[in-house]
Structure 1
Amino acid sequence: MSKQIVANSVFEASMPRPGVVLVQIVSKPLGVFTVQARRELKALLERARADYSARCVVLIGTGAAFSVGSNIREFEATAEWIESARLAETGLNEAIELGPVPVIAACNGHTLGGGAVMALACDIRIAGRSAKFGVPEAKLGAMPTATGTMRLPLLVGRGQALRLMLTAQPIDAEEAYRIGIFDELVDDDKLLDRALEVAGQIASVSPEAVRASRRCVSVALRLGYHAGLAMESEITIPLGLSDDAIEGKAAFVEKRAPRFK
């Protein structure tokens, strides 16, 4: 049975299964985020493991959208407001990638603008077949900031990233899957079940190994091959001597399921 954790006008959080926190974006009508809402979601993700023993988070929208990003009506044409908004959005996206708990984006509809960048920050993106992906900020005299101009070309290459940014045109789920934005496509009515299934698989393995793998990948993508290799070398011995490694190998020899702490 799902255990309710948080409920407000922007998102709801629950634990539908052991080790998995489900966060639903309920902001109407299209999953828009205020600056404060981004701060609140960042705080929730930071508490997920410490307070709720989460080993994986699933982030999903409601209705017609995963999220279309910022609440444009909140915009203020001042340097102070723009910087405050940038810091809040960048902080959330960095917390998603670099936090101790992996995050799966279950893209159930329009995944646009800041919502698209937030999905790019997640570890895995599973989309329903009716989903749309786009970075239409150029139509508003803006660009996909808050790590967007970094993440998209890392994922799909310079040409595809600039095509999406400069034309400001959305693409359908099949095209987004083809060029590598979405990692998996499922029927719309199977999306949540599939995301929870993958989250459950992640929650069943060693959390120490999960953190180590994510850390090495992030360092390599940000700083290059040699930095990633150095991080891998630094982590390998402590991970091999960890309680998780000892338990995992013992469980394998004893032909039983491991009991990771």
Structure 2
Amino acid sequence: MLLTYVVSGFAVGLLVGMTGVGGGSLMTPLLTLLFGVPPSVAVGTDLAFAAVTKSAGTVTHRLRGTIRWDIVRRLCIGALPAAVLTTLALKYYGALDPKLGQLIRYSIAGSVLLTVTALLFKTKILAWINAKPSRQLQGRALMLATVVSGAVLGVLVTVSSIGAGAIGATLLVMLYPSMSSAEVAGTDIAYAVPLTAIAALGHWWLGSIDWQLLGSLLIGSVPGITLGSWAARSVPERYLRGLLACTLTGVAVKLIW
């Protein structure tokens, strides 16, 4: 079984490296559907997985100077308190309770569908925003919208472990359309590190992290992400994202039904 987890970590790492989509969109449904891991444990383990892998990504982006730390701070102002409050709510209602587990399962499905939407319409959303610059938020309104977006992502990530990748990046593109793709990626990864770390600590407190599973996934994911990043240069991105969107849609339907 450990070998299966290592292979799964490699496969997810490969897809993340090729598409840039957050591992939670792939890993959490995989653990829930294929391996029968309880939803709360799948979420907690994936959050710990994300905290480790995104930390390495943040170091790289920091060296490249592709992180907007002012935006990271605004996102964290909303996301970190939201993650703590959501953890307390899970503790109060019982994170390992079967009924709450079903609710988490539905939240995972909803987050996956949001990721699909982000994958399919990110380019069109950006084009619409650039075509209407007068509608772009500025000043205090932009700061407030960033903090609120962080809070929404904080709740979403803590409950489902999904949202910090494609959804977070899409929100950044909508709020800050002048940012380069590298800055969007770097900023999205940087704010996700403290968010996933706090959420993971919360799930550790709740007893919903499988450490042996986490280690197996990490062993496979590191070479997978490396190989996927290399292969991404030779595979058309739109075909990959289309295939991934169809796969995730099927996963969401399976989670619901």
Given the two structures, how large is their TM-score scaled by the length of structure 2? Answer: 0.27
Which structure carries more strand by proportion? 1
Higher relative contact order (CA 8 A, sep 6+): 2
Computing the radius of gyration over CA atoms, which structure comes out larger, 1 or 2?
Answer: 1
Given the two structures, how large is their TM-score scaled by the length of structure 1? Answer: 0.27
Which structure carries more helix by proportion? 2
